[in-house]
Amino acid sequence: MIYLDYAANAPVEAPVLDAFLTAEQTFVGNPNSNHPAGQAALAAMERATESIAALLGAEPNEIIYTSGATEANNLAIKGIAYAKRHTGHHIISTPLEHSSVGGSLTYLQEQGWEIDFLDITRDGTADLQQLRELLRQDTVLAAICAVDSELGTIQPLDKIKAILKDYPNCHLHIDATQAFGRIPVSFAGVDTLSLAPHKFGGLNGSGLLLKRKNLVLEPQLHGGGSTTIYRSGTPAAALAVSIETALRLALQHRAERFEQAVLYNQMLRESLIRYTGVRINSPENSVPQILNLSVQNVRGTVFQRMLAERGGCVSVKSACSAQGTPSGAVFAVSRDRKNALSSWRVSISHRTTEDQLSAFLQIFDDCYRKLTGKEGTI
What pairs with residue 193 in β-bridges? 174, 210
d(CA 157, CA 304): 33
What angle is formed at CA 178 by the lines to CA 123 and CA 99, rounded to 5 degrees?
85
What is the full DSSP assignment across 355-372? HHHHHHHHHHHHHHHHHH
Please list, in sequence order, all residues whose beta carbon lies within 8 angstroms of the beta carbon of residue 334, skipping any fewer than 6 positions away.
Answer: 279, 281, 340
The per-residue b/e assignment along 335-359, b for 16 or more CB within 10 angstroms, e otherwise, is ebeebbbbbbbbbbbbebeeebbee
Report which residue type is found at 228.
T
Sign of the Cα pseudo-torsion (242, 243, 246, 252, in order): negative
What is the full DSSP assignment across 5-33? BTTT--PPPHHHHHHHHHHHHH--S-TTS
* 67, 201, 247, 345 from 181: Cα distances, Å: 19, 9, 8, 19
Please list, in sequence order, all residues whose beta carbon lies within 8 angstroms of the beta carbon of residue 184, skipping any fewer than 6 positions away.
Answer: 254
- Catalytic annotation on 145? no
Question: In 3D, which of 147, 185, 361 has the Cα closest to residue 273?
Answer: 361
Please list, in sequence order, all residues whose beta carbon lies within 8 angstroms of the beta carbon of residue 17, skipping any fewer than 6 positions away.
Answer: 203, 242
Rg for the chain, CA atoms, rounded: 21
The phi, psi pair for 45, rounded to 5°, reads -70, -40
CB atoms within 10 A of CB 204: 13
| Of 145, 313, 320, 367, catalytic | 320
d(CA 347, CA 318): 11
Report which residue type is found at 210.
L
CB atoms within 10 A of CB 184: 11
Catalytic site positions: 320
